[in-house]
Structure 1
Amino acid sequence: MSSLSSPGTPARVAFFGLLGSGNLGNHGSLDAMLAFVRSRHPEAEISCICAGPEEFERQYGIPAVAMTWYQEHGPGRTRVDDVARKMFGKVADLARMPRVVRGYDVVIVPGMGVFETTLELRPWGFPYALFLMSLSARMTGAKTAFVNVGANIARERTLRWLFTGAARLATYRSYRDVYSRDAMRQMGLDTSRDEVRPDLAFALPAPAPVEHRHPTVGLGVMAYRGTNADRDRADEIYATYTAGIVEFARWLVDAGYRIRLVTGDPSDLSVVEAVSDDLRRTRPESAGKQLISEPAESLGELMNQLAGVDVVVASRYHNVVAALKLSKPTISISYGTKSDALMEQMRLAEFRQPIRDLDVPRLIDQFRALEARAPSVVPALRARNAEYLESLGQQYDVLSAALFGAETSSRVALDQGE
């Protein structure tokens, strides 16, 4: 029985997901939910079930355990040994996951595209762990919440079964856009009581604008290699995208702009290096003065960097979210419907193009058009951000009641930003 049924006993809360692996978007969603729990329920005991527990504990100082047996024990010494350990781990997790989840009253999956297949994804990896977590929580009496998550229609039958099975067992579900909710409905889930709310990153505090004299562009890059269906063409897809980004970076430098390169995952550093190496070779006099590249450990740090730019051109979804949160005129080089849906919500649908067909001349035209419209775009983005903050504040009331049995009238203080 959950300790929440015992008045005065602190709730034991676990966050679950691909955390501790360096993905800034995932951690941005976590940061927003951490702020909610700590503000509304400061007595709660917080820990995490994640992909990188050691890195997570280093960064947050919060106790963490590995999501799977294989992550806990590590790979084998040989390929055969490694495959055997992975197979054993899938069976071991059937007993291990209930033991892990039994220690919690509430398990929260904070945002993230947990039901998406826009990047490479194998059913018996994270989707399997997600399903086991939901099943274990139901078995042990813990409440589970998928909060403002992303989804798309999974074509592979096993993925569909794992996704809908995990979601069906949850106490609370919400999605970050209508498309995600509709995708889960089309895969067979009853979503009639599920909410649609803004991405959790819109609840993060916005840094103050940074004054700067030199026109600066935030260029968000991504080591994009396609989806599961593109494994045979992954290198080709990556090379084509990277070449387009390099070409656009050259144009920006030649046009007199300063570039701030930003990423969202450690893998993206290969594209950063490609851009930096090319500019140092082809524009040696400009590269040192017009190119900025600094690592960021959190989405908050990334937003601090973007506070000093005028326009953002980005590929990763949460790079786009961070830019829009700051009311920056933004172009999305989209690798999934989630980015398209977000740009439509922000009334910037004309300033996007698909990552697979990156057209640099068109991108330059879009950039010039967006720059010219910035005086009207920025106030519209600020108004939309205010609406998102209000919606997320209302959702916090719903979450408190659903997960903690709390009737609260006070609101989490959400930073209005600019």
Structure 2
Amino acid sequence: MTPANGTPVRVGVFGLLGSGNLGNDGSLEAVLGYLRREHPEAVVDALCGGPEAVTARFGIPATRLHWYRGEYRTASRAGAIAAKGLGKLVDAVRTAAWVRRHDVVIVPGMGVLEATLPLRPWGFPYSLFLLCASGRLLRTRVALVSVGAATIGNRPTRALVRWSARLAAYRSYRDARSRDAMRAMGVDTSRDEVYPDLAFALPTPPATALSGPSGSSGSSGRVCLGVMAFHGGNDDRARAEEIHRRYLDGTIRFVRALVEDGRPVRLLTGDDCDAPVVAAILDAVDSPLVTAAEAASLADLMREMAAADTVVAIRYHNLICALKTGTPVLALCYAAKSEALMDRMGLGAYCHPAREVDADRLLEQFRALEKRSAELRHTLAERNLAAARQLEHQFTALDAALFPAADHPHALREAP
């Protein structure tokens, strides 16, 4: 897309992208697909957590989000603490300079307005605030697209998230609970829309890729189990190890029960940090029926899940992958976003608390889910079609809001 002055529109994408989280990168993939389809002349680059990975996979230039490379390591020595502090000042200048080079910046999905997992205010919340404040000061349109949000108790984090949302030029949420949370935190959401998660815009693997391991169209009782290095959320730091141990012990007991029934179990992750959980399960359940997949993208996860009879998963985007392939899924829920997603897709009855994994109850729910497999597959097919239509509507709305000078007569709506 080229506006009247003949200069291609400069679009930036921003977030913890390329850092090993498959869901975040899937959201980026969806937005890049939209830009390449609707605005092929736009010049796109990223400010992100893993610039080398983003450039290698998506073919766009990328800049490191933080000047200080040890940003997400705990600083205990005076030198490291000083470097972190200096980094905050340097990042303010770097972020503003990056934003200034763009006409539009898109934050593609992700839970950028929530703290459902451990999060320090001066980490990503501060970075997002710098982005949105720079956008407002420098008149660069910043769009928070299909993002997740949750009510935040920690005051500094809450303030940074609230002001980030207020300063953005466009906001949409991936579920109604996210919009409600932002309203509860003092953001005027009267003109904000709710759309499905951006990952629902990704292509589902073709039919030839949806066969079982032997190449047939069916599976042989395989269960995909998505795992996570789960230690609770921001308010659970004092109990983090207890929560993790309970989650892991319950999950191991569940896997053992499946193996005793002769069911093959395929372990899946969604972030590089999940590898120790996979190792712990393989060590505890010594059986050839339990194997681990090496997935590098949401497409890889979808191929694995499409070849399964049933999925049990904890990570949000693992759930999305199962739902997109039409595979019945049982959710281990650690936040309201998972429950909202399952409700939206017609599987609200199949949720289990991740903090209190009860293997016996989980197995009971699992068997009830499998009894309704055919019915639920039909439901998922209908809900997936609806999600795809809703996201097409969102991309049309984005065109009007972010690129009004090129193709649309609509004026930009500045979010209050």
Match of 2:120 among 119, 122, 125: 122
Q: TM-score, normalised by structure 2?
A: 0.92
Q: Which runs of 5+ in 1 are unaligned?
A: 281-286, 409-418
Residue of structure 1 in register with 2:107 after alignment: 109
* Residue of structure 1 equivalent to 2:349: 350
The 8 Å contact of residues 75 and 85 in structure 1, kept in 2 or not, is answered as: no
8 Å Cα contact 1:108-1:144 kept in structure 2:
yes
The answer on 1:53 being equivalent to 2:51 is yes
Partners of 1:75 and 1:230 lie apart in 2 by 19
Q: Secondary structure at the match of 1:350?
A: coil
The 2-side partners of 1:60 and 1:93 are apart by 24
The worse-fitting range, judged by mean Cα deviation, of 60-69 and 359-368 is 60-69
Deviation at 1:310, TM superposition (A): 1.0
**Matches of residues 204-283 of structure 1 in structure 2 within 5 Å?**
204-207=202-205, 208=207, 209-210=210-211, 211-280=217-286
Matches within 5 A, 1:387-402: 387-402=386-401
Cα RMSD of the aligned pairs, angstroms, is 1.9
Alignment-mate amino acid for residue 368 of structure 1: R
Q: Deviations over 1:249-281 (max 9, x none)?
A: 11111111111111111111111101111122x
With over 3 angstroms needed to count, the CA separation of the structure-2 counterparts of 1:368 and 1:198, relative to structure 1, is same
Relative to structure 2, which stretch is displaced further, 364-373 or 157-166? 157-166
- Please list, as runs of the form range in 1=range in 2, the aligned pairs for 1:279-294 lying within 5 A after superposition: 279-280=285-286, 287-288=287-288, 290-294=289-293
Task: Tell me: CA distance 1:341–1:73, structure 2 relative to 1, closer, same or farther (3 Å).
Answer: closer
CA distance in 2 between counterparts of 1:126 and 1:190 reads 23
Once the 2 structures are TM-superposed, how far is the Cα of residue 96 of structure 1 from its aligned partner? Answer: 2.1
Give the 5 Å matches for 1:18-417: 18-71=16-69, 79-207=77-205, 208=207, 209-210=210-211, 211-280=217-286, 287-288=287-288, 290-405=289-404, 406-407=406-407
Q: Distance in 1 between matches of 2:199 and 2:72?
A: 32
Q: Which moved more, 1:87-96 or 1:346-355?
A: 87-96
Instruction: Decide which moves more: 308-317 or 158-167.
Output: 158-167
Q: Say whether the 8 Å CA contact 1:397–1:407 is kept in structure 2.
A: no
SS at match of 2:285: helix
Q: Is the 8 A contact 1:223 1:238 kept in 2?
A: yes
Q: 1:227, 1:292 → 2: CA distance?
A: 29
Alignment deviations for residues 262-307 of structure 1 (CA, whole Å, 9 cap, x no partner): 1111111111101111122xxxxxx22x223121111111111112
- Please name the residue that 1:13 is paired with: 11
Deviation (angstroms), 1:69: 2.0
Which residue in 2 is equivalent to 1:284?
none
1:198 and 1:155 map into 2 onto residues whose CA distance is 26
Distance 1:55 1:386 in 2: 32
User: For residue 412 of structure 1, what is the aligned residue in structure 2?
Assistant: none
Which deviates the most, 183-192 or 48-57? Answer: 48-57
For the structure 1 residues 76 and 155, does the alpha-carbon distance in structure 2 shift closer, same or farther, using more than 3 Å as the test?
closer
5+ long unaligned stretches in structure 2:
212-216, 409-416
Distance in 2 between residues matched to 1:32 and 1:401, nearest whole Å: 18
TM superposition shift of 1:232: 2.2
Question: Structure 1's 5 and 135: CA in aligned 2 closer, same or farther, altered over 3 A?
Answer: farther
- Percent sequence identity over matched residues? 49
Aligned partner letter, 1:158: P
CA displacement at 1:78 relative to structure 2: 7.7
Secondary structure at the counterpart of residue 70 of structure 1 = coil
Shift of 1:347: 1.9
Change in Cα spacing, 1:131 to 1:273, as seen in structure 2 (3 Å) is same
Q: Deviations over 1:17-36 (max 9, x none)?
A: 01111001111111111100
What does residue 415 of structure 1 align with? none
> Counterpart of 1:348 in structure 2: which amino acid?
L
1:395 Cα deviation after fit: 1.1
1:349, distance to aligned residue in structure 2 (A):
1.4
Cα drift, residue 53 of structure 1: 1.3
CA distances 1:166-221 after superposition (whole Å, capped 9, x unpaired): 11111111000000001001100000000000011111101122124411111000
Tell me, in whole angstroms, the C-alpha distance in 1 between the residues paired with 2:407 and 2:192.
20
Which amino acid is the alignment partner of residue 260 of structure 1? Answer: R
Stretches of 4+ aligned residues off by more than 6 angstroms: 72-78
1:308–1:76 Cα change, 3 Å: closer
Counterpart of 2:254, as a letter, is F
Confirm or deny: 8 A CA contact 1:110 1:148 kept in the other structure: yes
Whole-angstrom CA distance in 2 between matches of 1:267 and 1:72: 17
Measured after TM superposition, the shift of residue 4 of structure 1 is 7.0
Instruction: Please give the alpha-carbon distance, in whole angstroms, between the structure 1 residues aligned to 2:70 and 2:36.
Output: 28
Change (3 A) 1:214 1:5: closer
Give SS of 1:173's match: strand
CA distance in 2, matches of 1:69, 1:237: 33
Amino acid across the alignment from 2:120 = R
Residue deviations 1:13-72 (CA, integer Å, cap 9, x gap): 111001111001111111111100000000111111011112222222221111122239
Q: Matched residue of 1:201: which SS?
A: helix
Q: Name the counterpart of 2:411.
A: none
- Aligned equivalents of 1:390 and 1:94: distance in 2? 39
Q: Residues 242 and 4 from structure 1, CA distance in 2 versus in 1: closer, same or farther, beyond 3 angstroms?
A: same
Instruction: Give yes or no for contact 2:220–2:309 (8 Å, CA) kept in 1.
Output: no
2:2/2:41 contact within 8 Å kept:
no
The alignment covers a number of residue pairs equal to 399
Structure 2 Cα separation of the partners of residues 108 and 257 of structure 1: 43
